[in-house]
Amino acid sequence: MSLSPRERAAVGRLDDADVVPAGLRAAAGWSWRMLVVGVAIYYLLRILGIFEVLVVPVLVALLVVAFLKPFVDLVAAGRGRPGVPRGLASIGAIILSLLVIAGLITLIGQQVSTGFPSLQKQALSGWEELQKSLASGPLHLTNNQLSQYIDRIVAEIQANSSQLVSGALQVGSTAADIGTGFFIVLFSAFFMLSGGDRIWAWVVRLFPRTARARVNGAGVRAWATLTAYVRATMIVAVVDGAGVGIAAAILGVPLALPLGVLVFLGAFVPIVGAFVTGIVAVLVALVAKGPVVALIMLASVIAVQQLEAHVLQPFLMGRAVSVHPLAVILSIAAGVLLAGIVGGLFAVPLAAVVNVVASYLSGSDDEEDSRRDAADGVLDGFGGSAATGQTPAEAARDAGTAADEAGPLADEPVEGARRAAGEPGPEA
């Protein structure tokens, strides 16, 4: 059956909306957009990997600044308060932190040097007990069979010695990178502490004037979230390390202080880190004191973890870092997969920052929080008037003055701050 000319003309006028179902069109639209975003993220990660020696120290410096800034604000002069110059206060905070770290390293070195020989003797004694148990147990392994297994392990190590040597050379190059990164962290932290508001003002100026209000609002929220995360994680890490270290000392486990410091460092990777390092304490207790003490040590580690999960994390972080535990675990897994230990360290704060920025930019932020943050000023990306106890009106006036001194920096956020504080704008 042939179509009439009118019907053929009608068919020719059909477009995709008339032929392709709406669900398929929506799926296709989402698909190509997700592909573009995925490709962009992939190449961004590749570029960051190339500049890893620079990117990682700057990220570490951000964490350091988030922790040290309250101390610098406390002793530095500003907003009519007496005090030392901000640059001098920043140098003092960094030097004091280095002295504390050096003291801890020295103390841990002394503990390891004095406690390791006894631990070695206890490990040898435990190995002999294990041999006796294997020989008299259901496996009935003789000393000759154990020696054969050990010889196989040694042979495997010797067969892969070339890979071990290349790994050692890689560690040497990594040590040089660590030295370079250490100085980058120091200099970056100093300049962020002493002039973070000017750095943030320069970043905001890079965007079009119509976008500066949103960029500034997103930056303020991101910095508040990162600061809350770092301070809460520091407190949680201290509690975890102290709890495990005190338990090890009470039980007479050797190297109690180094084990506590190890758990403290591991706690900076939420949920996973403190538990994994706590297992190390359990293994040391097993080797040194036997299975009964090891079980008590395991119970202590679990108790500390429960205190962290059900008391410290909800109370200290609260709404500031509202990331679901499942998202935390998946973020850590993705971070470790993409960037190793460094990725695991930065995965959770990055997820928290992305979450709060996305909520703000999508408009799902609370309106009251938006008005309050608008009054916190345009240059408060690295702290802000919330830390100085100012009223919204005072914050708005200081924000306007700072923006006028800084040049063409986001007139829109300043006006938003003035309106939020109830002050008339320039047109009045």
Tell me, rounded to whole angstroms, the distance of Cα 72 from its chain centroid: 22
Q: How far apart are CA 374 and CA 382, in angstroms?
A: 15
Residues 6+ away with beta carbon under 8 Å from 52: none
Instruction: Check residue 190 and give its pLDDT.
Output: 93
What does the alpha-carbon distance between residue 67 and residue 7 come to, in Å, rounded to a whole number?
73
CA distances from 180 to 24, 46, 67, 184 (A): 52, 21, 22, 6
Q: What is the pLDDT of residue 406?
A: 43
Residue 293 has pLDDT above 50, yes or no: yes
- SS3 of 35-60: HHHHHHHHHHHHHHHHCHHHHHHHHH
The residue ranking higher by pLDDT, 276 or 145, is: 276
Distance CA 125, CA 109 (A): 24
The answer to whether 396 and 424 have CB atoms below 8 angstroms apart is: no
Return the pLDDT at 115: 74
Interval 319-358: pLDDT, tens: 556 777 778 788 888 888 887 778 888 888 888 898 888 8
Whether residue 216 is predicted with pLDDT greater than 50 in this model: the reply is yes
Residue 426: per-residue pLDDT:
40
**What is the average pLDDT across 98-118?**
83
Give pLDDT, residue 427: 42
Quote the percentage of the chain above a pLDDT of 90: 16
- The pLDDT score that the predictor gives to residue 283 is 87
What's the pLDDT score for residue 378?
40
Q: Which two tokens stand for residue 144?
A: 């000759």
Q: Please give the residue that has the higher pLDDT: either 174 or 197.
A: 197
pLDDT band at 162 (very low <50, low <70, confident <90, very high): low
d(CA 316, CA 30): 38
The answer, yes or no, to whether residue 244 has pLDDT greater than 50, is yes
Position 352 scores a pLDDT of 87
β-partners of residue 76 are 84
Q: Is the pTM of this model over 0.75?
A: no
Does 29 or 417 have the greater pLDDT score?
29
Query: In whole angstroms, what is the distance from residue 185 CA to residue 327 CA?
Result: 29
Q: What average pLDDT does the chain have?
A: 75
- Higher pLDDT pick, 168 / 186: 186
- Reported confidence tier of residue 169, pLDDT bands at 50, 70, 90: very low
The distance in angstroms from the start CA to the end CA of the chain is 77
- Residue 381 is predicted with a pLDDT of 42
Query: Could you tell me the pLDDT band of residue 157, with boundaries at 50, 70 and 90?
Result: low
Residue 78: φ, ψ to 5°: 170, 150
For residue 250, pLDDT beyond 90: yes
- pLDDT band for position 47 (cuts 50, 70, 90): confident
Overall average pLDDT of the 421-427 stretch: 41
pLDDT of the residue at 5: 59
* Residue 385, pLDDT above cutoff 50: no
Residue 144: its pLDDT value, please? 73
The residues spanned by each domain of the chain are 52-206
Task: Select the highest-mean-pLDDT range: 114-118, 142-146, 186-190.
Answer: 186-190
Do 249 and 263 meet the contact criterion of CB atoms below 8 Å apart? no
